[in-house]
A = this chain, B = another copy of it.
């Protein structure tokens, strides 16, 4: 799994046992995402996650206070990587609003391709992980809304749009479309996906 676990850097600098500890933690997170993706939240009991990670049941609780803490670690890891990628993509896109939206959208699609299991777990059709998905979207939406306000002020999007409503709409369409697409990437080409998402963004009107 390529979702970043930023906290691990500290551990990585520790002793050998500490490195092993970080490995175990990563394996647990990875196993959890796998189980979520393949069997749904239902199949992801702490015992099964531990087993899939190759550790004993009790070891799970040496790394996470409880299952909720594991969920949060997954979400935080996903958010940390996603935010980094989006920031870098936008930074490289220049000042044009449409170009920025396109760069952001393309990076989102790339992230989904790299993290298919995670996207399916968070936003997929059998999304049993609704609460987790909310945490991710809630973390992203304020930024979207703020950006919309700035663009409205700059005349790049219509002032008739309610930024809060539009931010919810953009977050929802992006997450669902990505989940729908990673489930079966033949449903649309990569370019159709990006083009359609960009055209539905208010900045493209």
Contacts and interface: CB of A to CB of B under 8 A. Distances in A.
B205 A161 contact: no
A171 B193 CA distance: 16
Interface string A162-181: 10111011111101110011
A69 interface: no
A169 B123 CA distance: 13
Contact of A158 (B128, B134, B187, B199): B199
Q: How many of these chains are in the complex?
A: 4
B125 A195 contact: no
19 contacts: A125-B134, A127-B133, A128-B128, A128-B130, A158-B199, A160-B195, A160-B199, A161-B195, A162-B188, A165-B177, A165-B187, A165-B192, A165-B193, A169-B196, A170-B173, A171-B176, A172-B176, A173-B173, A200-B200
Interface string A121-137: 00001111111011000
Contacts of A193: 162, 165
A187 B172 contact: no
Contacts of A133: 127
